[in-house]
Structure 1
């Protein structure tokens, strides 16, 4: 009997965009490196932009916040390109990037939450809670699964897809469309990744893959 060989996962949108824009990002990163800019400084600049966007959202300046998020989006990939170019990708830098990504999303949802609280719109407030929770669980499921040695890639609404849903809706001043979509599909994606992990755990144990500890 032939050994089971898992099918190769299709290329994700995140991987496609990174490959597509890699030459451009590397040129920009080279210019920043010559100026002495560090990857962590780029990461924190992106977080600062999200803080301002959240402030504008809380004030109801939805379209302005959408354009700002669109402008600062490349910083999310630029810090990694800069770290690789400098030849010094540090473990702390990777952790900082991941943590600031989570805070950035929470800030945006927090800004929207304040806005809809001021409008006394309980349905939208609940949807924002679900969207924020689902967004975090998509990332957590991947991190937890990979920590146990599973391959957790793709999903219907990863961070890039959430951005592509949210930002155009903000620019068009139609945030509720994005809130509804992400509230439903982000949680679906978290469960989708959990199912992927379950399927892998049901396969015969492979060398080098640890078993799940009991908790």
Structure 2
């Protein structure tokens, strides 16, 4: 069981309660997904302008929306393929928006190492998702690794809340590539 699965199990009752309330309001899962993207774009703006803690707070608040859209879809018995696609695209877009905010933050301060770490963290993150998607198309699901979406989100939001973006970027830059290797290794064993 992955860390993400453990978190979902731990927060299942809470998510089901909130999801049940949202179900009564008539809000669609896709609306929740898009709201999460809007929050993350706003966070990216604040990060770019130097308000790291405020950006981190917005990122932290938007995180539960990522779990709520899926819970709401399940409660509505509305697990359509498009909703899953939209959720995946929204996750990537949100992550890229936050990294773009960090890129502007470091670029504006002439901090070359920060710019390089943003690039490394972002490409590593994209590769983590890409390897899983490509492996799924070949018949296996490498849903493993040190830094899945949830861990990356937690590291990013915590480092922003503590105004230590370089520390978070170092962790992301190194361990996303470890995760890529873990997923490729898993897929090699499954598909070989």
Which structure has the greater CA radius of gyration?
1
Aligned partner of 1:53 among 43, 51, 59: 43
Aligned partner of 2:53 among 63, 71, 88: 63
The one-character-per-residue Cα deviations of 1:164-208 (angstroms, maximum 9, x if unpaired) are 212111111011000111011101211211111112223xxxxxx
| Correspondences of 1:40-119 after superposition (within 5 Å) | 40-119=30-109
1:121 CA drift (Å): 1.1
For 1:133 and 1:76, the matched residues in 2 are separated by 21
The one-character-per-residue Cα deviations of 1:106-153 (angstroms, maximum 9, x if unpaired) are 000000000100001111111100100000110110111011111312
TM-score (norm 1): 0.87
For 1:100 and 1:163, the matched residues in 2 are separated by 13
Give the match's secondary structure for 1:157: coil
Q: Please list every run of 5 or more consecutive structure 1 residues that lacks an aligned counterpart in the other structure.
A: 1-10, 203-215
| 2:41 is the alignment partner of 1:35 | no
| Correspondences of 1:161-180 after superposition (within 5 Å) | 161-180=151-170
Comparing both structures, which one devotes a greater share of its residues to helix?
2
1:162 CA drift (Å): 1.1
For 1:166 and 1:47, the matched residues in 2 are separated by 16
For 1:191 and 1:154, the matched residues in 2 are separated by 10
| Correspondences of 1:105-144 after superposition (within 5 Å) | 105-144=95-134
Supply the RMSD in Å over aligned alpha carbons.
Answer: 0.9
Aligned to 2:184: 194
Q: Give the ranges of 4+ consecutive aligned residues of structure 1 lying more than 2 Å apart after TM superposition.
A: none
For 2:142 and 2:133, the matched residues in 1 are separated by 8
Q: Please list every run of 5 or more consecutive structure 2 residues that lacks an aligned counterpart in the other structure.
A: none
1:69 CA drift (Å): 1.0
Aligned to 1:181: 171
TM-score (norm 2): 0.97
Contact 2:144 2:182 in 1 (8 A): no
